[in-house]
Amino acid sequence: MPRGDKTRVISSSFRENWQLLIVTTTVTLLLFVGSALVPWALGIFLDSGIERGLTASLLPGGLLVCGVILIRAFGALGTPMVLLAWLRGTVTWQRNIVTHVSGRRMSRKSALSAGEIVASATSDAPKIGNLISTSTETFAATVAFILIAVLMMRSNLLLGLVVTIGLPIVVVLMTLLIRPLQSRLSANREERGKLTTLAADAVVGLRVIRGVGGEDVYSERYEKQSAHVMETGIKAAFIQAVLGGLTTAVPALFSAVVISLGIWQVYQGQLTYGQLVAFYGYTAYLSVPVSSATRFFQVVADAKVGARRIGRILSTEPTTSNARTLAQPPVINWDQAALTDLTSGVRIEPGKLTMIVCSHPDVAAQCAQRLARIDDESEIEVADGSVVVKLSQLPLADVRDGIVLSGATAQLFQGRVRSNINGPYADDLVPRTIAEQMADTGDGSGQATRQHRGHPQAASDQQLYAALTVADANDVVLGLANGLDGYIAERGRSLSGGQRQRLALARAVLHNPPVLIAIEPTSAVDSHTEMRIARALSVQRAGKTTVVVSLSPIMLHQADTVIVLNPDGTEHMRGSHDDLSQDPFYHALVQRTAVDDQEENQ
């Protein structure tokens, strides 16, 4: 996949489609050249003796006209090829963008908003497709213009020079508008990306906005940003309108000049009637190469802006990779492996339920995330007996199989509960035709009915219910009409925060990884539910390495080891919950959390 600046994005688009471009350009050339030759053939036909009536002398000229028309008709086959070139350029970059950003975490320095990614896929990728398709037409139009210039100069040097010299000069002058147009289009693109992000945030957090009464504030921000988009769009539209007007006016002006000079040449006997008709046809056709050139310059300006955005997205590097993987990495027995965070000094012993607490919850969460290797910047040591290796030196796939992270924010997707819990082993969706998709979403229910193909590694209903029991989430399934096959909305918006949290925990429990790391898995549930989860989790994960970030006394009571961190992230002390409860600092920390929970439950 090409990465880097806009030049690489554009050049790779042409390089990857060169065969299609050659065929498309060849066929399109027949269309443009055929159209350019029609006035020439008609001129010959008129000068072959049409004033004497329908005689045999008209046959060669008539056959010539028919031949040119056939060439032009055959060239019309280039239209679907131009469309195919546009699709290749557009869809390829849309897939590249989606492939690059899906399934990977980007560094904070290069983090991209969801709105920017969506805007790039929907707006920038088609601009690359426009450049590819327009380039074939522009090349064909240029060849047709050269052909017209040659034919005109062979018939009349003066008229030929007027068009050949004057038209390119005007086109070059028109290109002076391209640079300011490009800057204004870029500004408009920035503002549209911000507006898309704002709209996407509203879709995700609509319930929250309504809950806190923030509709008016959001509406004001959206209207303000929409006004910025309109303002930048109007500025760009002014130059586009000027270019559009010149595209129409310049050929008309040249037609008037050429026809006026042509009539004078006919009056002086230096030009025939057929040649005058041909010259009129030439000048009328000049609108095609002029409009093609103008459109090409505008498309180039758009494509540069779009390619710059696409290049920025493709240049973002994932936080994890196999760049540091050893040539012959050791095989780690994750059930017996100890993890050590060299940043904080925290060591996680294998086979134990370890809780990490801190007066700053984010510090404890960051420690847990480092242990799960969400990036390669932090150094984590893995000790399996005498084998000691850095986590970043192991294949990423092996690490993901051995360590599973359940984050603080429950990540759910639109679909069945069964698919959400199975996660990577969810049943595959059966592809549907466009008609089937339209029929499915046209009933207004907002719920998609899909057919699924069973995944070979999908869990059975018994296994799913066992995981749901550990997460105390059976009531979530029972509350849906179709149980495990019931549908939930995008990001689980149809569920409460506690329900989403429990389903996410059930998914982590189902996969039963050797090392499970959970960050605040019960922060959104009541104390009675939390107690059932804590007991079930300690039983289900007995003998397996489990790390939980939580300040809840209910969860801490089930821990084999509790690690207390300083505010700077270093380890302060460790021990059992009962032993640490004798420490004033730990007691105050946990007691404060217990009081907060009681106030929330009242």
**Residue 77 dihedral angles phi and psi, to the nearest 5°:** -65, -15
Q: What is the pLDDT of residue 348?
A: 96
Whether residue 9 is predicted with pLDDT greater than 80 in this model: the reply is: yes
Name the band, by pLDDT with cuts 50, 70 and 90, for residue 561: very high
Residue 394, helix vs strand vs coil: coil
**Residue 4 dihedral angles phi and psi, to the nearest 5°:** 105, -150
As assigned by CATH, the class of the 6-315 domain is mainly alpha
Tell which wins on pLDDT, 149 or 345.
Answer: 345
Tell which wins on pLDDT, 339 or 386.
Answer: 339
H or E stretch at 453: strand 452-453
Whether residue 61 is predicted with pLDDT greater than 80 in this model: the reply is: no
Residue 213, helix vs strand vs coil: coil
- Contact indicator for 484, 417 with CB cutoff of 8 Å: yes
Name the band, by pLDDT with cuts 50, 70 and 90, for residue 144: confident
H or E stretch at 217: helix 215-267
**Residue 546 dihedral angles phi and psi, to the nearest 5°:** -135, 130
Strand segments (E) across 33-154: none
Q: What is the pLDDT of residue 560?
A: 95
For residue 595, the tally of other CB atoms under 10 A from its CB is: 10
Mean pLDDT over 311-323 rounds to 82
- The DSSP output letter for 523 is T
Vertex 39 angle, CA 45 and 68, to 5°: 75
Mean pLDDT over 555-583 rounds to 93
Whether residue 597 is predicted with pLDDT greater than 60 in this model: the reply is: no
Q: Which residues of 255-279 are buried (b: 16+ CB within 10 A; e: fewer)?
A: beebbebbeebeeeeebeebbbbbb
- Contact indicator for 42, 278 with CB cutoff of 8 Å: yes
Tokens of 598: 């009681």
Identical fold, 6-315 and 334-429+458-601? no
Name the band, by pLDDT with cuts 50, 70 and 90, for residue 288: confident
Q: In this structure, is the dihedral angle defined by the CA atoms of residues 16, 19, 22 and 23, taken in order, positive or negative?
A: negative
Q: What is the pLDDT of residue 518?
A: 96
Q: What is the pLDDT of residue 505?
A: 95
Whether residue 595 is predicted with pLDDT greater than 70 in this model: the reply is: no
> Quick check: pTM over 0.85?
no
Q: What is the pLDDT of residue 517?
A: 96
Q: What is the pLDDT of residue 546?
A: 96
Tell which wins on pLDDT, 572 or 602.
Answer: 572
Tell which wins on pLDDT, 312 or 330.
Answer: 330
Mean pLDDT over 213-233 rounds to 86
User: What percent of the chain lies above the pLDDT cut of 90?
Assistant: 28
Exposure of 380 by Cβ count < 10 A (0-12 exposed, 13-18 middle, 19+ buried)? buried
Q: Which architecture, in CATH terms, is 334-429+458-601?
A: 3-Layer(aba) Sandwich (3.40)
Tell which wins on pLDDT, 16 or 248.
Answer: 16
Tokens of 214: 């923030």
Q: Tell me the domain boundaries of the chain.
A: 6-315, 334-429+458-601
